[in-house]
């Protein structure tokens, strides 16, 4: 039943930072902060929306994504 509720809400994603922002551009660092990540190996469960998908795509080389 919880799966049906998540599908109706658009689902949730677990995003984990696996790469360092050192040496990356300021906009990539800001995107990580916008996702709620600022240190290595930290995770956040966030709503799956088109805006969040775009942010993840921008820093895909620094994060891993899995369904929550």
Q: At 43, which CATH number?
A: 3.30.1390.20
Can you read off the two tokens belonging to residue 9? 């809400």
Mean local confidence (pLDDT), 2-25: 79
Q: Is 7 or 57 the better-scoring residue by pLDDT? A: 57
Contact at 8 Å (CB) between 31 and 55?
yes
* Domain count within the chain: 1
Range(s) of the domain holding residue 43: 2-67
Which pLDDT band, with edges at 50, 70 and 90, does 3 fall under?
very low
């Amino acid at each position: 039943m919880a799966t049906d509720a998540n599908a109706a809400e658009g689902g949730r994603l677990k995003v984990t930072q696996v790469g360092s922002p050192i040496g990356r551009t300021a906009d990539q660092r800001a995107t990580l902060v916008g996702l709620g990540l600022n240190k290595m190996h930290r995770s956040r469960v966030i709503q799956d929306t088109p805006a969040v998908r775009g942010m993840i795509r921008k820093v895909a080389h620094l994060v891993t994504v899995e369904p929550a």
